[in-house]
Each structure stands twice: as C-alpha cells, then as structure tokens.
Amino acid sequence: MKYFRLLTFALLLVGLSAFIEGNNKQFEISKNLEIFANIYQELNTHYVDDIDPARLMRTGIEAMLETLDPYTNYISETDIESYRYMAEGKYDGIGANVRKIGEYVTIVDPYEGGPAIDAGLQAGDMIIAVEGKDAKGKKADEVNDVLKGFPGTEVTLTIRRPGEDKDRTVKVKRDEVAVKNVPYSGMINDEIGYVVLTTFTNNAGKNVENAIRDLQKNHPEMKGLIFDLRNNGGGYLREAVHISNLFIPKDEVVVTTKGKVRDRDRSFNTVNEPLVPEMPLVILTNKYTASASEIVSGVVQDLDRGVILGDKTYGKGLVQNTVDLEYNAKLKLTTAKYYIPSGRCIQSVSYRDGEPIDIPDGERAVFKTRGGRKVLDGGGIIPDVETGIKNQSAIVRFLTEDDLIFHYATKYHQEHDQIGDARDFDFSDFDDFVKFVHDKKVEFKTNTEQELEELMVAAEDEHFKELIESNINAIRDQINQEKSDDLFENKDEIVSLLEREIVSRYQYQTGRIEKSLQNDQDIKLASDILRQPEVYRRYLQRK
C-alpha cells in the first residue's frame, strides 16, 4: 500500500512538472509575441524614415527561420509560382530559364513546347524592356516575377538579339508550363539503358516506370540500366517510394520518418511487385543529389540491389510539411527525419552558410547493408564507386563563368541553319572559337597574376618596385604564353562544352542530354560495370 502511495505521488509530481513546463512555455510564447508586436508597431509608427511594413515583417520572419535548418522557409503570396514549380514542376509563365548576363536579363534555356519557343524567342535574346519599361540593370528574379502570370494573358517584351541591328518587339502568351521530370531516356549502347530524373515532382514515379517499360519494349536485349540522379534535389516522398518499388520487392520498408510528435512517425513500404527486380542497376549521384534522391540511392545501397557510382550526396534527411497561412502564404517546416532500411539517417548534422559541412568518416556511425557491407550515417550517401569531383581547369572555368561558351553558341546558331542529329554533331572549328575569345578582349587573370599585382603594390609602397619590376614583367609574359597554350591543352573539354551548348540551341534540353552522354566519364564507367557481371557482383559483395 505504501509503495502504491509513493508511486501515485511520483506520477503526480511528473504530471505536475509537465503541466508547469507546458504552461511556462506557453507563457514565454505569449510574452514574446506581445513584445514582438509592440516593437513592430512602434517602428512603423515612430521610426524616422518611412518603413515598408510587409518588407520589415518578412525580414523578421526570415531572420527567425535562419536560426533553424535551411529547409524551413516562409513562402509569401508573391513566391507561390516559384514554390509551385519546385513542388509540382509546373508554373504559369513564358516557359524559359533566364539569367542576368552583363546589364540585361537574358534567355538562356527556353523549354521545349513552351510559349517562349512558340513566340520565336531564342537562347541569347536579351530582355531590354518588359511592357515598355526599361529592364536594364534589373535582377533575374525581378524580371521573372513579371514574366509569370495567369495562362492566356500576354506580356510584351523588347528583345535585343546579338548580331541584329534593331531590337524586336515580341508578344508572348503565358501558359501553364510543365517542365519534364524525365527529360530523356534511351540506350547508351545495344545492352545498357539510361533514364535521367531531374526532380521528384508529381508523377515522377509513373514517368520513370513508363520510361523503363518503353526501353524494355523497344529494346528486349537490354541487360542493364543506368539511373541518373545527379543534380536532383529531391521532392515528394511518395514518388521516392514509388521509384524504389520499381527495383525492390513488395512489402519492403523504404523509409521511416521520426519526429517530435511520436504519434506521427510512419513507415513507408513498397506495395507492388517490382518492374525490374533483378536487372543490374547503377545509380549515378553527385554532391547535388539530395533528399528524395538520397532515399532511392540509399535504399538501393542498403538492400544491395544496385551499385551507386559518382560523388557523395548532399546529406538532406529531413521531411518538410507545408502549412497554409493567411493571405495565401505558406510555411514549409521540417517535422521529421527519415531513416532508410539499414537504420541510418543521412542528414548532415551541421551547416555553414546554408550548406552541409563534411563529417569525417571516423565520426560517422557504422551500419550494415542486408548483405553485410558497411555503410555510414550522417552526411549523405557514399557511393560504392567513387569517381571523385572533377576539377575544371582555370581557363575552362573562365570560359564558362564569363559566358564565352554561351555567347559563341549564340553566334554559331545565327550562322548555321541546322546541325543534323545531336549525336552526330562534331564541332570542328576550334580556331574560330579561339579567335572569338581573343576578339572579345575579356581579361582572364589567374590567381598568380592577381598575387603579382598585389606584390607590385606592396613593392611600390616599400620602394622596391624598380628592383623587382623586370622580373615580374618576365613572369607575366610567361604566364600570358601559358594562358594562350591553355586553350589548346584543354581543347577536348572545351569542345565538349561547346557541342552541348550549340546542340541545345537547335534541339533544346533533349539534344543537350543526348550530346552529353557521349563524353560523360561516369556513364562510360557505369556502362563498363554493367557489361561485366563479375565486376558488378563484386561491388555488391561483403568486403
């Protein structure tokens, strides 16, 4: 009896403590909301300069959310179209990717079948004005906001096309633009199929399934599949489960979510018989493979169903839910972490400037795949075959970042009506490209040259300029000669980039992918592995 009374008393203390703690938390929330409201009111009423109330509140909300993970975000009414594109792969607008190049926002990638192409717009067209309003100096987001709008409405653009003397006035009728999440599927060779998925938006699973079925139907000799998840930032969890089910058996646990509210923890299982239960599979990943992409690649690795090849993935193991707020706004907040079949969570534990920080392998917990292979948690999926990050040479980065490859492709498109099939196109006029680069007179400075300039400034301040100037100039002359040689030493890589960009001007995203397959070293290695069964099996065996 005495024990029972003590137990009852203890339970009452626990309950009372929880009650007090809960009340204290609610009091803190109410107190701080009141303080925040008072500050907001005082600033809007008495601050010396005029304040935009919406902008001030947005700043406050975003500052609060910045103390959490990078994926908990406030989505205002003006951001809804961008959110819809990220979530569904759809938005209402002109159907073109734009980027600021120089002083003007420029069309860089019109989408196949979209309004921009129907209106005659091309990559390289500079947007000089929108609805008669000067667009010089505007940011890409500012112009993009105006280009989006209700289907059926028109927007009038003033376009400056390189190589033409007069600007064009173009009317574009906005429409719902659906960007394909499976932009390409085909055969790498007689035996190996290839499917690329860019995002886990609506119907991603269905589209991947249809792509594989078509390959099986049209190429019954197919003996292996490369599934490309590079640069895929994820999307809907349900689509990740659907896609995993294409490769793994029915009733397998794909992923389990665990959060603060235990009643909401869930496990997601496969519900169908797999489409390709035994076909050899290689999944391609890189550092931008994230979220739902990591679920699929992690599940395939944990169940020893296929080989993961490429670079370590991003490390996003968080689940977001979207809550509707007043005035058509939304809050996307993290509610749980997900765990794949081995029991590991691939979420990175810390961030710097919104990006995950690498965790040394020695500090990551060890788990095992179904076949007994060791795998690690915390910070992404480590591929079974690591190909390493490809470092571009300084000259190639310069040509890309200064848009010289982009501008040359525009010039080439204007001078050539057609190029034939993307796979057969070979760029052979490298001397013309070199002349184009020299004619642009864009100054390319290496890190060494920048440090030499700093050295000359320091030498002048310390009165050593005359002593070292002749030596510095000799070094500069040598560097200039080396830079000229760099173009030819990196010819193969530059030509490959030129071919992709040029092909995209005629055959858009599909052509770009088809051309890139010919020079992709990861795809070549994956194909070699799939064509050698003993090598493929070796990667899946316990070490």
- The residues assigned a catalytic role are 291, 302, 316
CB 302 within 8 A of CB 315: no
Residue whose pair of structure tokens reads 């193969």 in the numeric block: 492
Q: Quick one: tokens of 6?
A: 């003590």
Q: What sign for the dihedral angle of Cα 34, 36, 38, 40?
A: negative
Determine how many CB atoms are found less than 10 A away from the CB of residue 8: 10
Q: What long-range pairs does 273-279 form, CB within 8 A, spacing at least 24? A: 273/249, 274/245, 274/246, 274/247, 274/248, 274/249, 274/250, 275/209, 275/212, 275/213, 275/246, 275/247, 276/212, 276/216, 276/225, 276/246, 276/247, 277/247, 277/248, 277/249, 279/222, 279/223, 279/224, 279/225
CA pair distance 421, 515, nearest whole angstrom:
9
Q: Report strand pairing: 73-75 vs 330-339.
A: antiparallel
Q: Quick one: tokens of 445?
A: 């400075």
CB-facing half-sphere around the CA of 408: CA atoms within 13 A: 26
CA pair distance 146, 285, nearest whole angstrom:
35
CA pair distance 208, 261, nearest whole angstrom:
34
Element (H, E) at 127: strand 126-130
The amino acid that residue 238 corresponds to is R
- Using CB atoms within 10 Å of the CB of residue 435, give its burial: 0 to 12 exposed, 13 to 18 middle, 19+ buried: exposed
Strand partners, 90: 178
Task: Give the rounded distance of the alpha carbon of 441 from its chain centre.
Answer: 33
The amino acid that residue 463 corresponds to is H
Determine how many CB atoms are found less than 10 A away from the CB of residue 20: 10
> Alpha helices, DSSP H only, in 113-236?
115-118, 140-147, 204-218
Cα 259 to Cα 126, 264, 319, 335: the distances in Å are: 48, 7, 9, 6
DSSP E strand boundaries for 148-306: 154-160, 168-173, 175-178, 184-187, 192-196, 224-228, 253-259, 266-269, 281-285
Q: How many residues does the chain have?
A: 543
Element (H, E) at 394: helix 394-401
CA torsion angle 284 286 290 294 (round to 10): 40
CA pair distance 340, 304, nearest whole angstrom:
13
The DSSP letter of residue 358 is P
The amino acid that residue 301 corresponds to is Q
